[in-house]
Structure 1
């Protein structure tokens, strides 16, 4: 859940923007509150709301642009219009706008459900609603309403970042930045901030010690090179400024560089390519964040930047590229050891990079099916099936738990392996005892 404070206005054009959405069938007027006698009239026009807000705002001529316009957005369609409206009302109350006249309009024209709120910054007493640290307070109040505790999340994310393999302090900082944190390197420690507040700090010495334990994984390095070489010949590698989504389906460019290849690799494999450039100059290097394997790579160790950008792929990335229609099981191909390694990494990405395994599998275009008395990890687009057990040889307890929960939701049975071997002598003794009690023997050695 995110919130954005949008542009102010002297003419309350936010009302027109939102009512136009309603007229085009892209929005729904959810709530009109505190407009006094105006609400007793029928068939109100957008101009009626604007005039009321202008009239109230005229009580304070020092504020040139009194419009207050904000958007609260959920991820995907996880919240329906009514739930988002309830959240917006609570948020407006916390921001000091509970008694102000305001509109709440639900938008359904993007992939993410969101609501817009429009009000005035001027109260009936002519005083301006405080806007001090407005953006910071907006996030803090929304977190409180949603039960988000940043101080608890940062401890979890810090442990998660330290679990990555990295060779420099800068690489560790990139992992935290990928989790949405703002970092500042102070003398002897890294300051970690989010939502405008300082949440944590970690000694640089601790990070440097972990970096000193880095061991290069040559096998994974070869895998990543093969992936980059293959898909850079398909997708465009031309670098452009990344765009930050804004309310209403709009976007604005940011400093980060991206490409169609980068977007595909992140959606399909959990590989985040971070390009390094000064101001508006050409990129001079890049880093690969391999989230599926929790490793950070210097890009040139995988594929030199010059070689990567010289590839001739022409295809633009579409979100559906990472999701392919299923093919009949009988057409699936046998797999090699290298393929097993690749799909083990994809399974980890589906478990670790998404809220749950079901969403991860869906977004990556993968599935878990049952055939021949075993669970199979299936990639319909490549017509590949791999026995699930072969992909979980080095999985964590959390990985096994995620697979077990998903299997249960599909009506499958998955029992995580128990990696505790019994003593043979004890088993043989127990076997004798079972025979004496006329019970089945579990060890015949």
Structure 2
């Protein structure tokens, strides 16, 4: 769960922002507190809330932008609207806003449940509520509300990071940096900083010892290659910049890069892609943090960035370069494979029930990979690689070998495998009995399909 203090305002624009969300059914007013007699009215307009906040704020002319606007966001749907509202109220009390007029609005328009809180920094006595170290206190008070001990949490994060498989200090740092820590090497130690405060230190010697102890997980590397190859064909790998803007400023800062593929891998597989770049130049490489299996990898060891970015734009690049890298040593006992009939049925379905062979294979979660002078049906997630010749008869195998360029390729071979399915024609809805029904002959009317 995270908390952010948003921009200040003289006009209390945060009220309009949140009431607009409510009007568009993307938000819900969860709590109104401290608005005195206004709370007794049946229907309130946004201007009513804003005018009341301005009236309270007018008691202190020295604060030009008195709006207090914050957001508390949970990961995914871990907390419902009622739980988030309760946390928000308790957090406001910790921040000194217990007796202030405030609104709590729940938003449901993103993948993460969150609430917005709007109030004024000026108390009803005219005194300004302290804003010193506000961002740091916001995090500390949220941890207090959630019952989290900051030191204990940081120690747990450090121990978790040390249990990952990593080959360099830079890779170890990426694990903690991805959790929001700032790191600094000094005097043989790695300082861990959060919210501008030194939280802990780790001896660099300990990190180096872990590096020497760690051994590459070759099985996981092979599995990651297969996962990237499979899902890169299904999700766009084109990179998109991630920008941030400082509150109240027009300057936009480049935070990093992502893609639909990267978002899918993070969300569904617990695999984070960190793209490395300098200034405003495009990324020159990437790293992989495998949170699912606790490992950090150089991106090019799994899938070169050139191929990763080409997966959607030019599948031929992938087809030419990837298969031989993915295939493990070929077993010699495929004749005894228990799943042979199962994969025969899946391959036949891909051949016969889809307008395009590769579309059918992707739908089944399979790939066909040339390796040497043989074609293999690959099910990467099940770690199964079976020669096509064991699944199809000679004619069908020859047809596929021609399609994948292992044999001379007459035009007819391509046409057979990529044969289009005729478009389905759906007629106007008609009264079947009126046209073909049992009363047509008795009434001496012709059987016809037109009115």
Give the secondary-structure state (helix, strand or coil) at the position aligned to 2:273: strand
- Once the two structures are superposed, residues 9-64 of structure 1 have per-residue CA deviations (whole angstroms, 9 ceiling, x without a partner) of 11111112222222333322222222223334442322111111112212222211
- Once the two structures are superposed, residues 336-365 of structure 1 have per-residue CA deviations (whole angstroms, 9 ceiling, x without a partner) of 9xxxxxxxxxxxxxxxxxxxxxxxxxxxxx
**Number of the residue aligned with 1:51:** 51
- Once the two structures are superposed, residues 187-211 of structure 1 have per-residue CA deviations (whole angstroms, 9 ceiling, x without a partner) of 3111113344332110111111211
**Number of the residue aligned with 1:239:** 239
**Number of the residue aligned with 1:267:** 267
Counterpart-to-counterpart distance in 1, 2:171 and 2:74: 30
**Number of the residue aligned with 1:146:** 146
Give the secondary-structure state (helix, strand or coil) at the position aligned to 2:283: coil
- C-alpha deviation, 1:267, in angstroms: 3.0
1:312-327 aligned at under 5 Å gives the runs 312-313=312-313
Bigger mean CA deviation after superposition, 224-233 or 86-95: 224-233
| Structure-2 change in CA distance of 1:132 and 1:228 (3 Å) | same
1:358-437 aligned at under 5 Å gives the runs none
Number of equivalences: 319
Counterpart-to-counterpart distance in 2, 1:384 and 1:207: 33
1:9-158 aligned at under 5 Å gives the runs 9-158=9-158
Counterpart-to-counterpart distance in 1, 2:164 and 2:191: 19
Counterpart-to-counterpart distance in 2, 1:334 and 1:290: 32
**Number of the residue aligned with 2:170:** 170
- C-alpha deviation, 1:74, in angstroms: 2.4
Counterpart-to-counterpart distance in 2, 1:304 and 1:110: 32
Contact 2:29–2:105 under 8 Å retained in 1: yes
**Number of the residue aligned with 1:194:** 194
Counterpart-to-counterpart distance in 1, 2:338 and 2:136: 54
**Number of the residue aligned with 2:289:** 289
Structure 1, unpaired ranges of 5+: 247-251, 316-332, 337-381, 387-445
Higher Cα Rg: structure 1 or 2? 2
- C-alpha deviation, 1:334, in angstroms: 6.2
| Structure-2 change in CA distance of 1:103 and 1:271 (3 Å) | closer
| Structure-2 change in CA distance of 1:242 and 1:335 (3 Å) | farther
2:223 aligned with 1:223: yes
Contact 1:7–1:69 under 8 Å retained in 2: yes
- Once the two structures are superposed, residues 270-301 of structure 1 have per-residue CA deviations (whole angstroms, 9 ceiling, x without a partner) of 32221111011121221122223322112222
**Number of the residue aligned with 1:346:** none
| Structure-2 change in CA distance of 1:170 and 1:18 (3 Å) | same
Give the secondary-structure state (helix, strand or coil) at the position aligned to 1:212: helix
Counterpart-to-counterpart distance in 2, 1:7 and 1:17: 12
- C-alpha deviation, 1:69, in angstroms: 0.9
Contact 2:180–2:194 under 8 Å retained in 1: yes
Contact 1:73–1:115 under 8 Å retained in 2: yes
Contact 1:241–1:253 under 8 Å retained in 2: no
Bigger mean CA deviation after superposition, 224-233 or 59-68: 224-233
Give the secondary-structure state (helix, strand or coil) at the position aligned to 2:213: coil
Give the secondary-structure state (helix, strand or coil) at the position aligned to 2:235: coil
1:305-344 aligned at under 5 Å gives the runs 305-313=305-313
**Number of the residue aligned with 1:208:** 208
Query: TM-score, normalised to structure 1's length?
Result: 0.65
- C-alpha deviation, 1:89, in angstroms: 1.7
Q: Give the aligned CA root-mean-square deviation in angstroms.
A: 3.0
Contact 1:239–1:259 under 8 Å retained in 2: yes
- C-alpha deviation, 1:245, in angstroms: 12
Structure 2, unpaired ranges of 5+: 247-251, 316-336, 341-378, 384-451
- C-alpha deviation, 1:138, in angstroms: 0.7
Contact 1:22–1:29 under 8 Å retained in 2: yes
Counterpart-to-counterpart distance in 2, 1:187 and 1:123: 47
Counterpart-to-counterpart distance in 2, 1:102 and 1:221: 52
Give the secondary-structure state (helix, strand or coil) at the position aligned to 1:289: strand
- C-alpha deviation, 1:168, in angstroms: 0.8
| Structure-2 change in CA distance of 1:2 and 1:211 (3 Å) | same
| Structure-2 change in CA distance of 1:335 and 1:160 (3 Å) | farther
- Once the two structures are superposed, residues 393-428 of structure 1 have per-residue CA deviations (whole angstroms, 9 ceiling, x without a partner) of xxxxxxxxxxxxxxxxxxxxxxxxxxxxxxxxxxxx
